[in-house]
Structure 1
Amino acid sequence: MSVKSIEKDYDTLTIAALAEFEATPQRVWELWADPRKLEGWWGPPTYPATVQQHELVPGGSVTYFMTGPDGKTYHGWWTVLVVEAPRQLSFRDGFADEDGSPREDMPITEVTVTLTARDGGTAAEVVTAFADRTQMEELISMGAVEGAAEAMSQMDAVLAAG
């Protein structure tokens, strides 16, 4: 598994995941930039994602839903903030209603992905920042750390598939 660590930091209100891949930064970048590849790992294995809209440009939107084992769908959205291919991506990530409308009652996070060439491969750091400790604790209690580890553990298979 490429995920090396996932660290919670209550002082900075962040969760930082570090992964290493035997692939170039450009190939790892495609895990976010290609909606079909994003579907291959975004969400835990038992909650596969379907990307509905994918505009990976500053100000663009990404909308998706995950389908649980019971067939129930869970919708989400991104507002893209920064795109510096193949080095950095930053976006706001939140929950949505079935019609795609952002849910105001759920936390919104800011995610920053940084890819760095290293030893013939790529190090990926994914930092999720929270507005406050309450929101951080809420998402952690919902299984965000375990879900992120399960989701990211699928990245190697997506890279291997081309």
Structure 2
Amino acid sequence: MSATGRGAPARSATADREIVISRVIDAPREVVFEAFTEVRHLSRWWGPEGFTTTTRSFEFSVGGVWDFVMRGPDGTDYTEWITWTEIEPPERIALLHGESSADPNAFDSVLTFEPDGAATRIEMRTVFPTKELRDEVVEKYHAIEGGRQTLNNLAAYVAEIVGKG
């Protein structure tokens, strides 16, 4: 156990390697969870503004894989690979995300879906292998803004499917 001093907030052991993004989405968490776990939904909203997602294979189960390509607005293709490491419907998903199963720079993400009145607060907590890798994706790939845009796209998509958009 670490001592944090009087009144000092506890600091996560991974704080310098993580990105945390959250958003409230105006829909029940079961709907938000479904939009995040079914390929027919994911390909409609996944990624930052201007990106498209093409799924090559998808199995939503612990140990299952989502293999996909994101195409950027400039036409650049980004090969992506996710394996699901924990699934607790409709509360939590943990995953490992990289370019492939052999990617030494793959990172862990945990998504939580918490009720917030009639809405849902989704939090995406991503931990990178090193601080340097975290800093690189923030600076080179604008990961924080990209994550915010992705959750905004999810919110807009969910509003559309529940008839509020």
What band does the TM-score fall into relative to the shorter chain?
Answer: 0.7 to 0.9
Superposition pairs for residues 30-49 of structure 1, below 5 Å?
Answer: 30-49=34-53
Larger radius of gyration: 2
Deviation at 1:102, TM superposition (A): 4.5
Partner of 1:15: 19
Other-structure match for 2:7: none
Shift of 1:72: 2.8
User: Shift in Å at residue 95 of structure 1?
Assistant: 1.7
- Rounded to whole Å, the distance in 1 between the matches of 2:84 and 2:15 is 26
Residue 52 of structure 2 aligns with an amino acid whose one-letter code is P
**Greater CA drift, 122-131 or 32-41:** 32-41
Letter in 2 for 1:31: A
C-alpha contact (below 8 Å) 1:36/1:51 kept by paired residues: no
> 1:77-109 deviations in whole A, cap 9, x for unaligned?
00110011111100000124xxxx6444xx211
- Whether 2:65 is the aligned partner of 1:61: answer yes
Cα displacement (A) at 1:65: 0.7
Q: 1:40 to 1:10 in 2, by over 3 A?
A: same
RMSD over aligned Cα atoms: 1.8
| Aligned structure 1 segments of 4 or more residues deviating by more than 6 angstroms | none
Unaligned runs of 5+ in 1: 1-8
* Residue in 2 that maps onto 1:4: none
Distance (Å, rounded) in 1 between the aligned partners of 2:15 and 2:76: 35
Secondary structure of the structure 2 residue equivalent to 1:64? strand
Query: Match for residue 3 of structure 2?
Result: none
Return the letter of the residue paired with 2:109. Answer: V
Structure 1 residue 51 and structure 2 residue 51: aligned? no
Counterpart residue number, 2:4: none
Cα distance in 1 for partners of 2:86, 2:14 equals: 25
> CA shift at 1:111, angstroms?
0.6
| Residue identity (%) | 25
CA-CA distance at 1:16 after TM superposition: 0.7
Separation (CA, whole Å) in 1 of partners of 2:47 and 2:17: 22
- Which residue of 1 is the match for residue 154 of structure 2? 155
Larger strand percent? 1
Native 8 Å contact 2:26 2:159 kept in 1: no
Q: Indicate whether 1:131 and 2:129 are aligned.
A: yes
TM-score, structure 1 as length reference: 0.83
Pairing 1:89–2:104 present: no
Query: Following the alignment from structure 2 to structure 1, what is the Cα–Cα distance between the partners of residues 102 and 54?
Result: 17
The TM-score, its normalising length taken from structure 2, stands at 0.82
Q: Which has the higher helix share?
A: 2
Number of equivalences? 148
Q: Return the alpha-carbon distance in structure 2 between the equivalents of residues 154 and 35 of structure 1.
A: 15
1:70-85 matches, cutoff 5 A = 70-85=74-89
